[in-house]
């Protein structure tokens, strides 16, 4: 049996934390309604599954280190950004009770995230890994879309708060707080990935992570894994608190209509 490395320890941390995020997202999803809630809470649920899959692949590589397993780990690292961002787009949908933001705009932001996801997967899976992984044009384009989604989502959230802050219900304010407090951690998470794609600094490269470079793994832990965990824990805590509020309004499939949540 191979030795447990620094990278494996990070994977074990994710295996411990993300099941709790998965359960929390399922609880909020149920309270919101399985059908309408799927546009919001399926994303943190999906992120949890991706992180668990990536962690399992990392631990599997202890005794089965192959190029395909390493690519699977890289893909899991990359595609987690899309559901992470979409979780906050979903929270924005739930905050926007009055439908002040044009639905077409939110749809466009969502499509941008999915486009980044598809382009990123193709970029990683088709990259030449003979001499190590180097981000190509597609990976850089995907990262650019993810950064754009973050900026647009935060601008829309800020605008919504300043235009409706005096009329927001308690549950809306809690969701906004969840987004606002998570935003700095989410930004650092994205900066880490952007530095890996747009610079030649080996500290932030996937290649260095694969080589178990201590400096790179510490940067990955502090700027990616922990930032992502903290941002999602904050979002889930405020999300659970919001749906338990007496004034929580569950959205319905019909445009412009809402109803009180079913009792649980």
Look at residue 10 and tell me if it is in a domain.
yes
Query: Domain for residue 169, yes or no?
Result: yes
CA distance linking residue 6 with residue 204, whole number of Å: 16
CATH of the domain at 68: 1.20.1070.10
| Residues contacting 81, CB < 8 A, separation 6+ | 116, 117, 120, 146, 189, 190, 193
Q: Let me know if residue 94 belongs to a domain.
A: yes
Distances (CA, A) of 143 to 75, 91, 140: 13, 22, 5
Residue 207 in domain: yes
Looking at the structure of the chain, the number of domains it has is 1
Per-residue pLDDT 10s for the chain (264 aa) are 556 788 888 989 999 999 999 999 999 999 988 888 888 899 999 999 999 998 888 888 767 767 777 777 777 777 889 999 999 999 998 888 888 999 899 999 999 999 998 998 887 777 655 555 567 788 889 999 999 999 999 999 999 998 988 888 999 999 999 999 999 999 999 999 899 888 878 777 766 666 666 778 889 999 999 999 999 999 999 999 999 999 998 876 654 344 444 444
**Prediction pTM value:** 0.86
Q: Domain of 210?
A: 6-248
- Asked whether residue 135 is domain-assigned, the answer is yes
Q: Does residue 258 fall inside a structural domain? A: no
């Amino acid at each position: 049996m191979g030795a447990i490395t620094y990278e494996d320890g990070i994977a074990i941390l994710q295996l411990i934390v993300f099941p709790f995020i998965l359960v929390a997202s399922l609880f909020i999803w149920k309270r919101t309604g399985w059908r309408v809630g799927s546009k919001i809470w399926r994303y943190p649920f999906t992120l949890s599954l991706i992180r668990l899959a990536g962690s399992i692949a990392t631990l599997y590589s202890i005794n089965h280190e192959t190029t395909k397993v390493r690519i699977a780990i890289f893909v899991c690292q990359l595609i987690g950004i899309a559901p992470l961002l979409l979780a906050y787009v979903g929270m924005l949908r739930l905050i926007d009770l009055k439908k002040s933001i044009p639905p077409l705009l939110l749809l466009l932001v969502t499509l941008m995230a999915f486009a980044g996801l598809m382009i990123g997967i193709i970029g990683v899976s088709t990259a030449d890994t003979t001499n190590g992984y180097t981000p190509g044009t597609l990976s850089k384009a995907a990262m650019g879309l993810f950064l754009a989604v973050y900026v647009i989502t935060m601008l829309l959230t800020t605008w919504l708060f300043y235009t409706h802050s005096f009329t927001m219900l308690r549950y809306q304010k809690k969701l906004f707080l969840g987004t606002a407090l998570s935003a700095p951690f989410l930004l650092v998470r994205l900066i880490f990935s952007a530095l890996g794609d747009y610079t030649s600094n080996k500290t932030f490269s996937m290649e260095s992570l694969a080589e178990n470079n201590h400096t790179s793994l510490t940067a990955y832990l502090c700027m990616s894994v922990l930032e992502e965990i903290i941002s999602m824990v904050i979002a889930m805590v405020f999300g659970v608190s919001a749906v338990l509020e007496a004034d929580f309004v569950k959205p319905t499939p019909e445009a412009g209509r809402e109803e009180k949540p079913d009792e649980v």
